[in-house]
Structure 1
Amino acid sequence: RVRVESLDADDTVADLAVEVLSESNTYGEMQLKLADYFAASVRLVWIVDPELRTVEVHADPGQMTLLRQDDTLDGGAVLPGFVVPLKDLFAELDRQG
């Protein structure tokens, strides 16, 4: 007989966290959240800055890659097959501007 324990929402951890900077979601707050995400075993964090058209990719607490509008964002081992050029990601913002 196998016993299966149920998982509460508090017991599950996402592999990917995506944060978008805004007036109410500041860069300083993101740095604090980043530490919390990795402490909770999140494997990949993207911090999107729509104003600067950049994405910070954090694969571990000590590693950050800054992607700019001409770069391509990919999901790596966490989200295999996901690939999007940042210019496409930010295109709607450009149309609104």
Structure 2
Amino acid sequence: MIATPTTLTLPTHLQTVDEFEAWERTYHHEGNYEFVRGQIIPKPAMKQEEFYIADFLVRQFIHTAVFQQGHSLMPEGDSYVDNARKRIPDLIYITAEQHQAIRRKERISALFAIEILSDSESYEDVLDNLQDYFDGGAQLVWYIAPKRRKIFAYSSPDESKTYKDQDVISTAPVVPDLQFVVAEMFA
């Protein structure tokens, strides 16, 4: 039987990402888990009502020059912050160089991470995630609030700009030619 988040007892003695990933390989379970300083955090899969957002963003991304160079925008990929933290953004931008690093079994961190806000996430969760992404080297983090039809674009844990309606949002300088009108994503 495969353990589910409700039947799986999560260990509390793990201190490093290596220990956590060894546990993950040993115990068969469903779903993704983030690991933050000894805490194993269930990461719910993207919900059906969020698919249209991910689909829209990926479809926009495939028209960029970096896509033609082998970069990608992928759902729910690992982003390593350090030896004690691993996050899983809803979408992660991965460069061609990072793809090669992954093939060499190296860990990568997000340069650009996208999270789609759900009702279960608290403001503290958002702040913790932001700090971790930027500690790992992120240059840009988006929090998309579907119910409010807004995108909160963070260039640091403390600097953000809100985009909505007919605002044009851009991922420059990370992906210079990816931009769109916010309302188009929610149409």
TM-score interval (norm. to shorter): 0.7 to 0.9
- Equivalent residue of 1:82, what SS? strand
Q: Give the Å deviation of 1:41.
A: 0.7
Instruction: Name the CA distance, whole Å, in 1 between partners of 2:176 and 2:110.
Output: 15
Does 1:50 pair with 2:146? yes
Q: CA RMSD in A?
A: 1.6
Of 129, 153, 170, which aligns to 1:33?
129
Residue equivalent to 1:64: 160
The answer to whether the Cα contact below 8 Å between 2:110 and 2:133 also exists between their aligned partners in 1 is no
Q: Give the Å deviation of 1:7.
A: 4.0
Instruction: Name the CA distance, whole Å, in 2 between partners of 1:67 and 1:24.
Output: 22
Instruction: Name the CA distance, whole Å, in 1 between partners of 2:115 and 2:122.
Output: 10
Residue equivalent to 2:56: none
Q: Deviations over 1:17-39 (max 9, x none)?
A: 00011123344311210011011
The alignment-based identity, stated in percent, is 26
Higher relative contact order (CA 8 A, sep 6+): 1
Q: Give the Å deviation of 1:90.
A: 0.8
Aligned residues: 85
Q: Deviations over 1:58-97 (max 9, x none)?
A: 0112211111122111111101100110010111xxxxxx
* Letter in structure 2 aligned against 1:38: F
